[in-house]
Amino acid sequence: MTDTSFPAGDLLKGKRGLIMGVANKNSIAWGIAQQLAAQGAELAFSYQEALEKRVRGLAESIGQDFLIPADVTNDDEMEACFKTLQARWGTIDFLVHAIAFAGKDELQGSFTHNTTRLGFQRAMDISAFSFVDAAKRASAIMPSKENGGGAMVCLTYLGSERVVPNYNVMGVAKAALEASTRYIARDLGPEGIRVNAISAGPMRTLAMAGISGGKTLMKTGKDWSMLKEDTTMEGVAGAALYLLSDLGKSCTGEVLHVDAGFHAVGVPDISEDE
C-alpha cells in the first residue's frame, strides 16, 4: 500500500484498540494502524460516514474488518461507537486519536482577524474536546489496572508551543489538546491507563493540505531540523507503538516530539539561510 516498512513482532499480541482518524493511505492514523497490526494488534477503525469505502479497503488490506461510523461532534454516534466496541470485544487496550479540523479561512493570514467564534469553537470541539470525550468513553471499557490497564495517544503539532504562520486557531486547539492530555493522564493514572501525545513534524496528508503555506512548513521542517530530513511515518508509528505497548511503561502525561529534532532548534545555522 505504501513504501513504508513497519517492523513485525508480537509486542501487541492479544491487544485490541480503536483507531480514530484514517482518511486515506497518507493519514498518520493509517501509518500507526499498520505498525500496530504488524505487532499483532487487532484493530477497529472509526470513520466519518462518507469515508467508509476507502477506510474499509485499507483495513481489509491488513486483515481487519471492524469499522464503526463516528463523527466526533455527534454524541449519539460516539455513544454507539463505544457500545459497539464493548459488544464485540468487551474491553479495549488502547486508543489512537488522530483527528483535527479547522476551516480553511482560519488556517491563513491573521489569527487575530480571521478567527470567528464559530471557527474557534469548531476547531476546539473537533481537535481537542473530542479526545477528552473519547478518552472518557475508552477508559470505561479498558481493563482494570490489575488486568493490564490501557494506553492512549493523540497527535499534536509544535504550533501549540510556538507561533507557526497560518496554523492559527489549530495551534490554540493543539495547546488545549496537550493540556487535556496531561489532565486526562492524571485522572486515569490510578486506573493504570497511560495517556500521551505525539508531536509530529510536518507530513504530507489531507490535513496538512488544508494549511496555507504547507509546502514551506514541510521544507523548513526538513531544512532546519537536526537530522536534515522529513519526519517519517515509521518514526511516528514507532513512537505510537512505544507509547501503546509495554515498552512505554512508566511514560504518561508526555508530549513526545517526533520531528527530526526541529522543536529543539532555537536558531538555524546561518549557512542554511544563505
Told to check if 180 binds ligand NAP by CB under 6 A, we report no
User: What residues are paired with 195 via a beta bridge?
Assistant: 152
Identity of the residue, 29 or 149, whose beta carbon is nearer to ligand NAP in the bound complex: 29
Angle at 136 between CA 149 and CA 245, to 5 degrees: 30
Tell me the catalytic residues. Answer: 157, 167
Identity of the residue, 149 or 221, whose beta carbon is nearer to ligand NAP in the bound complex: 221
**Spatial CA neighbour of 192 closest among 155, 132, 142:** 142
Told to check if 196 binds ligand NAP by CB under 6 A, we report no
Residue 259: how many other CB atoms lie within 10 Å: 25
φ/ψ of residue 180, rounded to 5 = -60, -40
Q: Give, as one character, the DSSP assignment of residue 128.
A: I
Q: Are 64 and 37 in contact (CB under 8 A)?
A: yes
Reduced to 3 states (helix: H, G, I; strand: E, B; else coil), residue 110 is: coil
Site string for ligand NAP, 92-121 (x = CB under 6 A): ------xxxx--------------------
Told to check if 132 binds ligand NAP by CB under 6 A, we report no
Closest separation between CB of residue 176 and ligand NAP, Å? 12
Told to check if 48 binds ligand NAP by CB under 6 A, we report yes
Closest separation between CB of residue 166 and ligand NAP, Å? 13
Q: Residue numbers of the site for ligand NAP (CB under 6 A)?
A: 21-23, 27-29, 48, 51, 71-73, 98-101, 126, 155-157, 200, 202-203, 205-208
